[in-house]
Structure 1
């Protein structure tokens, strides 16, 4: 008889009757009948969590044919959570939730897991167990195995989702009234804090920021170059940040090119790409404190002599083997883009050695928005030239081949920069303030050493019941605009409070965080909102809706930041900022983008010119709609703002699973898919889409078969209206992807993380024009991913028969993720390469927020 190992070390014989009873209890809790649905063969000793995992995954496999069994799987998993967090007898009595929770918090404090100062607020716990019930199986799985839940010294889960939400709310607020407000917003899922909040709240590593950027100067160590931030300094800072759960972006453009002289050793430099390998290996070692593998962005300016080596660093044979812990992107300026597209007939573009440039000018080459217009590079610093047209095509071909590199448009970045060009000093670090670094998925745009905290508004919670259909104006009436405004204000307060509490222990970073106070309030669930309103993603109505939504969130978030400035004072460098002059950064950005558009649009094909003109008209229409708020806001910001920026749209890879909705501003990825995340392989339907079909009598066996085979409705016997409304990411043309990102960008003062998905048969010209149009319409950073361009994918769309068979034949073994090894064991078990890493499909490395 196989033995079951309990978490306390006890061994007991496996009892199939006991196992069956646990499933029946879980089913009873959600009103579902089970009758022999779970039949597992156990021929070896197992751990209790492993046994529970086997039961739940068996239920999930059968939920392909009987969806209500997914509820039973969730209930069974929640039973484990309650048993460990609230006590073995809680499932029998179902009483004393709050008292048990407070006792558990007190035990965590006594064990030194939580700060002692937390106890007063944690003891005021106001339970909301309906939050536990509202979560999906995948959300609870993420909570337990994705390290959102705290564990005690014996590795037992020490809190329920509701308890974790209270821990986050109180840690950020530090006073009871505001904590109640934050708790209400989190447990109603109107606001969803980013992963570091859940990882670190009230712990001894209390850091809430998601997004970091570091300087990488052309020296090895500050030990030999005091006062500078060298390569190994950045490596050390990166390790600390990733251990705390943050992602890091680095610009390697200051490093001298390969073959350049190294005077100290009379040798030659190995170039930026060789040093990137150090940072790539660093991630494998650190693994973000066991919570998730680290995310990184590496960028290089297009004028760097090693730019061609950088472009090819993750293409061809290298794409599945080299720099696998990096997203990479090329920073390009307007001068390059105008030469690349033939707007400037002289297509020669100079390459600059950053070491020589700094030696000759005393300035860093990266500290200029457009080096070739604002300052002529010294002749000695010019290391040849390239044909911009050819180089731009090489960049596009690399992205077509492997998804790398992406592009970062430096002028677009800085068009909304409220401190552009100002001289700043933080922690003895003097610099010209220019956004010249981005975080791993480019949603935050920063000067080196800046920090951004992320929290997301779940838009689905602001759609009125019973809406949909009618004119566009009637659909606009389906949005709870006042509720959305309040969420923007609460989210702004929440993030501002987080800045006050969050510390990395790295002096220059913590001082920069306090000086510029960057908020990254974003959204999730936009695609689900569109389905509720009956608006296809690939439509002008959708493009206009995101423009309105982001404009409304922006004016309310910035107004709240102005209100906070009156309470707490403005951010440190406010007097140097555009705000002090009564300027609103996104309006400056729009004026820049649309003025340039008129000058450059003649080089675009007619259909792209028409699309750009129409987006401009939509933006101006939103601007007129918001005119009364904007006029008032001009005076409000002149009196001070607390945060230098307020918005950013992150990919929300993990947090959208927690909220059970779609990611960021992305479309629905698929109607049925296998999601590979660090907690295992999760079989999912996109339930809002299935519910839409079911409500109209379209969810027939034939339609279901088509969805399961492909993840799409393309081959299903349904009306074209349904196919258009429920079109998935790979079915939507690249132009609509770019337009959606550009439309949202009009009102976002930082960046937007979005992938421009393309089918496997997309031609290279599509990537070329997507990059070209994104620049002209103001997109700050763009990533293209062509289906099947990598051998290992994050999500497999559809539940194809061979994959279903493989799942049915394989007993998936998953344990609580204490070590990465358990992930690797799961990967080996299901024989799917993509299981090796838990990934987000809208992020090239998969670990973006």
Structure 2
């Protein structure tokens, strides 16, 4: 067998590589395969020197020797991964080893991007970066203008070292770093941040502001910014929605956007790194007549399979796994087939590149819950509706357009209460479908019902599509760019408080306001630069100018303030934070309108009348609540009433700003919407914090993403336990076994503060999303986690309450309801053993078709500890 022995501070660490070798005979010289393909003899001394240097760079003393005798050739990347991952496994006891592992990985980045000799003389960082940029420009991988624009900022090499090991892995393997023609990494993290900042800025002054915000991790742009800034395909948007009309192609139906048109547009968008949502409600039901071919229709679900296969082929240009949302309105005759499309035996085999959700209107919900005593709800053939009225059913069959439905367009009826129960039972079974509440979506729509024309296409402006994780709510062909404020960066130093008001005072509200204003400008500038090459999409982007400014790190903020996630203090805090961000972002958009002009359809919007969409939304939700709350159990009625009181307190707190803003927006706003809370799956790894508004998922977990399998502890939680003297062997064992403190010997208040997603009751999840939604004019991506033994009634009431409290889209996930997942909590001994034995294969992501076989084997072994991803497709932003 081969082994290596390294001593850090005289503590021996054994690096076991038993299963990384093949016994081919001791007489053969073992080779290390370099990234270029060249081979060289394995050298214990060379490996030892690289470790010594990496450790010395972060002040860790290394002595001893490395002894290794592999009997098979091994790549340099495998060898480095072996060392780094072993150091990380030991780092829970000796944190400095994580710094050594990170330093070793950063050295690999520097060697590829800046040259092997850079590690011997690091004084020429900027010079080496610009030399690399020149090579990228010469190779045609960057635009010529990048050369001069990147000099607008002073590079910050310290940003490289501020990132965690997992962030650097994401940077290298997740396509945040540009690669040269030889597929070697061609930039450092600080250089990539400069590329993003300058590509959006348009001026040196703005570039410096953006660069400082990004490198301090106060704002973190979404993945497409890192993928595409200054490249030949400069597209920054994350979220797209497309129309899917009831025809095959615009070749035979000029002026319409048919199935294969949407398929082609989707491929282009996925290749650029965007996610796409489609509503399939315009497609005629299965079995309906197709006059042109004297045949019968196969229905919307059959066509969804085309889009599912399309993503498998495209793979988002190798940048990340494709993300799609498919929706169907509840009145569609194929609704029951849709509900069952990903449940039972189909849930792990059918439409695996789709999230699916049912669009429901208030009429349906009131019938389903018994507000309306008549549960009968019509099913409507969209083809007949269009033939009789010349209008699209999705624009008219809802509470906003009470057009009379032609009698022969009604293809039957369902019992709404029974169908709602079927939807919730399917979601309990597999996590699909979710629900999208059309009335809630449009309650904050500033252009609701207005006639719009873009690229020669006329339509009634109604939000009837959502992106893959439902954080953006859109008319078809709309676009939204995402950037996230990292809340953890706005906690004042050395601040502590016991009362809620004292805890509020620990937040740097002025700094948060500045971040909201800067993020608004950053996103608006991105709209002018971003292009897909699809005329109607690009024109719509310019016409409605949708910003998606969101947050990350909320759960970590709570821990640092000593506020449990499952508490009314947390529910009120998110209400205040989002209210504060909203008024400042909208105020900044009004300032931009004075500088550059308002969005194209401003005069048709409610802003022109001095109305604020968030307030319009709140008035709608709480007026309806008073009318429907009698059908809810007492504890849910009480929860809803309390959330209404919280929202009113925030509104009073913001009243001076609101009154000024009402007048100011009459003069114009630059962006039709300003906020959206995304799942921040990748970007929260980059920032080293928690995702979106989600709670801490687990205190120890395996994360399977396209960059590989990451073994993680939630460091702020471990630090909290250590600071209180609670990190004992028994507590560590409990955390590693389960990912939670539930069975650990620690005080109950500590368990409550560090409760993880699966321990938090579904009501708190719904309340948190509903509270944030009061001030978010678009949507919120959030998963309502439930334990495996949760009854189906929990899903039923979670859906029902979410609708009544104004949630726009809801997804539930019951533990163990799927067989393959993205995140696994706990590190059971057999899982840890399997990880130690698993061969680490580093391959270019663009050549991957799936996570490597060994990682899949680990996932199958980990089923008993399996937990869901926050975003079911895993890659939403």
Q: Is 2:740–2:755's contact at 8 Å kept on the other side of the alignment?
A: yes
Cα distance, 1:822 vs structure 2:
7.3
Q: Distance in 1 between matches of 2:842 and 2:509?
A: 43
Counterpart in the other structure of 2:661: 633
Q: Distance in 2 between matches of 1:422 and 1:701?
A: 63
Cα distance, 1:10 vs structure 2:
2.4
Counterpart in the other structure of 2:264: 236
Q: Distance in 2 between matches of 1:285 and 1:697?
A: 52
User: 1:725-772 CA deviation, whole Å, 9 max, x = no partner?
Assistant: 000000000000000000000000000000000000000000000000
After the TM superposition, which residues 55-94 of structure 1 pair with which residues of structure 2 at under 5 Å, given as runs? 55-94=83-122
Q: Is 2:234–2:529's contact at 8 Å kept on the other side of the alignment?
A: yes
Cα distance, 1:174 vs structure 2:
2.1
Q: Is 1:676–1:834's contact at 8 Å kept on the other side of the alignment?
A: no
Counterpart in the other structure of 2:376: 348
Q: Does 1:194 align with 2:226?
A: no
Counterpart in the other structure of 2:420: 392
Q: Distance in 2 between matches of 1:86 and 1:568?
A: 40
Cα distance, 1:60 vs structure 2:
2.3
Tell me, what secondary structure is at the counterpart of 1:321? Answer: coil
Q: Distance in 1 between matches of 2:318 and 2:862?
A: 19
Q: Distance in 1 between matches of 2:312 and 2:67?
A: 38
Counterpart in the other structure of 2:473: 445
Determine which of 421, 436, 448 is the counterpart of 1:408.
Answer: 436
Determine which of 16, 28, 39 is the counterpart of 2:44.
Answer: 16
Q: 1:687 to 1:39 in 2, by over 3 A?
A: farther
Tell me, what secondary structure is at the counterpart of 1:504? Answer: coil
Q: 1:268 to 1:41 in 2, by over 3 A?
A: farther
Counterpart in the other structure of 2:748: 720
Counterpart in the other structure of 2:575: 547
Cα distance, 1:413 vs structure 2:
0.1
The TM-score, its normalising length taken from structure 2, stands at 0.95
CA RMSD of aligned residues (A): 1.6
Counterpart in the other structure of 2:629: 601
* Larger CA deviation: 366-375 vs 386-395: 366-375
Cα distance, 1:164 vs structure 2:
0.1
Q: 1:658 to 1:208 in 2, by over 3 A?
A: same
Cα distance, 1:43 vs structure 2:
3.2
Determine which of 214, 224, 231 is the counterpart of 2:242.
Answer: 214
Tell me, what secondary structure is at the counterpart of 2:847? Answer: coil
Counterpart in the other structure of 2:679: 651
Cα distance, 1:469 vs structure 2:
3.2
Q: Is 1:679–1:814's contact at 8 Å kept on the other side of the alignment?
A: no
Q: Does 1:119 align with 2:147?
A: yes
Tell me, what secondary structure is at the counterpart of 1:727? Answer: coil
Counterpart in the other structure of 2:550: 522
Determine which of 171, 174, 192 is the counterpart of 2:199.
Answer: 171
Q: Distance in 2 between matches of 1:216 and 1:373?
A: 21
Tell me, what secondary structure is at the counterpart of 2:576? Answer: helix
Q: Does 1:699 align with 2:727?
A: yes
Q: Distance in 1 between matches of 2:119 and 2:281?
A: 58
Q: Distance in 2 between matches of 1:468 and 1:114?
A: 48
Counterpart in the other structure of 1:814: 842
Q: Is 2:831–2:858's contact at 8 Å kept on the other side of the alignment?
A: no
Q: Is 1:653–1:840's contact at 8 Å kept on the other side of the alignment?
A: no
User: 1:382-412 CA deviation, whole Å, 9 max, x = no partner?
Assistant: 0000000000000000000000000000000
Q: Does 1:589 align with 2:620?
A: no
Cα distance, 1:95 vs structure 2:
1.2
User: 1:480-537 CA deviation, whole Å, 9 max, x = no partner?
Assistant: 0000000000000000000000000000000000000000000000000000000000
Cα distance, 1:40 vs structure 2:
6.5
Q: Is 1:416–1:749's contact at 8 Å kept on the other side of the alignment?
A: yes
Q: Distance in 2 between matches of 1:263 and 1:574?
A: 42
Q: 1:833 to 1:233 in 2, by over 3 A?
A: farther
Q: Distance in 2 between matches of 1:16 and 1:242?
A: 44
Q: Distance in 1 between matches of 2:762 and 2:860?
A: 29
Tell me, what secondary structure is at the counterpart of 1:384? Answer: strand
Q: Is 1:793–1:834's contact at 8 Å kept on the other side of the alignment?
A: no
Q: Distance in 2 between matches of 1:474 and 1:420?
A: 41
Figure out how many residues of one structure are paired with residues of the other and give that number. Answer: 847
Cα distance, 1:65 vs structure 2:
4.6
Q: Is 2:700–2:735's contact at 8 Å kept on the other side of the alignment?
A: yes
Q: Is 1:674–1:684's contact at 8 Å kept on the other side of the alignment?
A: yes
Q: Is 1:794–1:834's contact at 8 Å kept on the other side of the alignment?
A: no
Q: Is 1:419–1:578's contact at 8 Å kept on the other side of the alignment?
A: yes
Counterpart in the other structure of 1:762: 790
Give ranges in structure 2 of 5+ residues lacking alignment.
Answer: 1-28
Tell me, what secondary structure is at the counterpart of 2:674? Answer: strand
After the TM superposition, which residues 444-843 of structure 1 pair with which residues of structure 2 at under 5 Å, given as runs? 444-821=472-849, 823-827=851-855, 830=858, 832=860, 841-843=869-871
Q: Is 1:794–1:840's contact at 8 Å kept on the other side of the alignment?
A: yes
Determine which of 252, 259, 264 is the counterpart of 2:287.
Answer: 259
Give ranges in structure 1 of 5+ residues lacking alignment.
Answer: none
Tell me, what secondary structure is at the counterpart of 2:591? Answer: helix
Q: Is 2:164–2:688's contact at 8 Å kept on the other side of the alignment?
A: yes
Q: Distance in 1 between matches of 2:767 and 2:228?
A: 37
Q: Distance in 2 between matches of 1:36 and 1:507?
A: 63
Cα distance, 1:828 vs structure 2:
5.3
Cα distance, 1:456 vs structure 2:
0.1
The TM-score, its normalising length taken from structure 1, stands at 0.98
User: 1:23-46 CA deviation, whole Å, 9 max, x = no partner?
Assistant: 121111122234679876643223
Q: Distance in 1 between matches of 2:598 and 2:401?
A: 33
Q: Distance in 2 between matches of 1:796 and 1:813?
A: 20
* Larger CA deviation: 768-777 vs 21-30: 21-30
User: 1:61-105 CA deviation, whole Å, 9 max, x = no partner?
Assistant: 333554432222111110000111111111111211111111111
Q: Distance in 2 between matches of 1:36 and 1:578?
A: 71
